[in-house]
Amino acid sequence: MGYPGLCPFCGTALRDGGAGFMEHIETADTCRERFEAWLENISGDMEGTWTG
């Protein structure tokens, strides 16, 4: 998705790529919407066989 210190949807600097990203999408509506759409798009790829 990109550099873990940046939001992959808007490029905003994050304190880290894990919890910092989750905090960011709690307040950035557009990024949250894009993240949710991304999750929905890949959900079928992960059913039953996703191990990573």
30 in any annotated domain: yes
Q: Is residue 51's pLDDT more than 80?
A: no
Encode the chain in three state secondary structure: CCCCCECCCCCCECCCCCHHHHHHHHHCHHHHHHHHHHHHHHHHHHCCCCCC
Whole-angstrom distance, CA of residue 23 vs CA of residue 33? 14
pTM: 0.73
- Give the per-residue pLDDT at 12: 94
- Give mean pLDDT, residues 23-51: 85
In-domain check, residue 52: no
Query: What's the mean pLDDT in 12-35?
Result: 94
Domain, as residue range, for 11 = 1-44
How many domains does one find in the chain? 1
pLDDT of the residue at 22: 94
In a domain, 4, yes or no: yes
Residue 14 domain flag: yes
Please report whether residue 51 resides in a domain: no
Q: Is 49 within the bounds of a domain?
A: no
Identify the sign of the CA torsion 4, 11, 24, 31.
negative
